[in-house]
Amino acid sequence: MNRDTIKRLRRIEGQVRGIAGMLEDERYCIDVLHQLTAVKAALRKVESQVLKDHAATCVEEALAGKDARAGREKFDELIELFEKQSR
């Protein structure tokens, strides 16, 4: 796993703890919602990076290998993931 991705996840973890604190302190709802929006955007960036890494390693290796079935399985996993995300 990429060090930058781990650092980004740790930062997100801190943001989530901060949001919990905001709720405990009964902060203004719009401020909390802004922070939630920022966390969702940060998670989308992490998700995108993990997907790119997966495609560049696991999927690429499986497709380049001699086992066509393994390549097809990796490809199908990606399709299934995209289908879940679009629901």
For the chain, the structural domain boundaries read 3-85
DSSP one-letter string for 74-86: HHHHHHHHHHHHT
What's the pLDDT tens digit per position in 2-14?
Answer: 899 999 999 999 9
What's the pLDDT tens digit per position in 28-41?
Answer: 999 999 999 999 99
Handedness of CA 39, 44, 50, 53 (dihedral sign): negative
Please choose, from the candidates 61, 59, 52, 51, the residue with its C-alpha nearest in 3D space to the C-alpha of residue 76.
59
Q: 7 with 46: CB under 8 angstroms? A: no
On whether the pTM is more than 0.85, the answer is no
Check whether domain 3-85 has CATH 3.40.50.2300, yes or no? no
